[in-house]
Amino acid sequence: MSAISVGQAAVLGVVEGVTEFLPVSSTGHLKITEGLMNIPVDDQSVVGFSAVIQVGAIAAVLVYFFKDIKRIVSAWGRGLTNKNERYHHDYKFAWWVIAATIPIVVVGLAAKKLVEGPLGSLWVVAGSLIVGSGVMWCADQMGRHKRGEDDTSFKDAMLVGCSQILALLFPGFSRSGATMSTALILDLDRVAATRLSFFLGIPALTGAGIYELKDALGAGVGAAPLVVGTVVSFVVAYASIAWLLKFVAKHSFNAFVIYRIVIGLALFGLLAAGTINA
């Protein structure tokens, strides 16, 4: 019998789609939802399932930013054979994304057992939600929001890319939250910070989903729940991306900060009361 039913997969797909790119921690919300549905959060197949349905959200990014991605990939391809094209920002940006993904891949492989074990606890998620909120608030206050997407550099990409490790090691910190906060500290404006977070998430999350697919299928999650969860996450994530880009163009991240603190405190309360299992 599948560790996750089709109905549960649909619910988790909605949670993944809504939260993957919002700075509120999709991993944290998935673990909380799994806990509320009595799904073991540290089960190997469940961890794999969570990684696989992220591919649906990533597919939404690929579709939403298709023109931008096509432009960047085309510039990268031309630059491989034409020296003159290598001065183009899009060519450089493609290499920056590749380089900035290497640190999280190395740490992810090295710390896999730790992430799936002790660091996967809901106690860690609750603490990370609250600590990450403080980091995000400080970053939004410190940042001067004076640099746009065309002003990004290799240093920016590497620092923002490395910040993804925080979310990997501390589920609940939020990959989007970590990357956006780092970009804001580097004085990128909110829209540029958000878009950079999207682009850096494509290779990291796609690779994680493909890597975990064998564990999800081999350890107890059926093909039907995986398909349903992935398709639902794609549809919901597409709408979430469109909303987020409009929101950050006119608002600060304070609403997300408050929400994360409330969820973190509520989770601490549920865990302390024994309502859900860590």
Q: Return per-residue pLDDT of the chain as tens, 278 residues.
A: 467 889 999 999 999 999 989 999 888 888 889 888 888 777 777 777 888 888 888 899 999 999 999 999 999 999 999 999 899 999 999 999 999 999 999 998 898 888 877 887 889 989 999 999 999 999 999 988 899 988 999 999 999 999 999 988 998 898 999 999 999 999 999 999 999 999 998 888 888 777 777 666 655 677 888 899 999 999 999 999 999 999 999 999 999 999 999 999 999 998 998 888 76
Quick one: residue 25, left, alpha or beta (phi over 0 = left, psi -120 to 50 = alpha)? left
Cα-trace Rg, the chain: 18
Rounded alpha-carbon distances, angstroms, from residue 182 to 21, 85, 160, 278: 15, 29, 6, 29
- pLDDT in the model for residue 107: 92
The whole-number pLDDT of residue 114 equals: 84
Distance CA 33, CA 97 (A): 32
* pLDDT for residue 45: 77
Q: What is the pLDDT of residue 245?
A: 93
Is residue 223 packed enough to be buried (19+ CB in 10 Å), middle (13-18) or exposed (0-12)?
exposed
pLDDT at residue 216, rounded to an integer: 62
Model pLDDT, residue 112: 81
Integer angstrom CA distances of residue 141 from 137, 187, 272: 6, 10, 33
Structure tokens at 260: 């994360």
Residue 215 pLDDT: 65
pLDDT of residue 78: 94
Q: What is the pTM of this model?
A: 0.86
> What's the pLDDT score for residue 217?
64
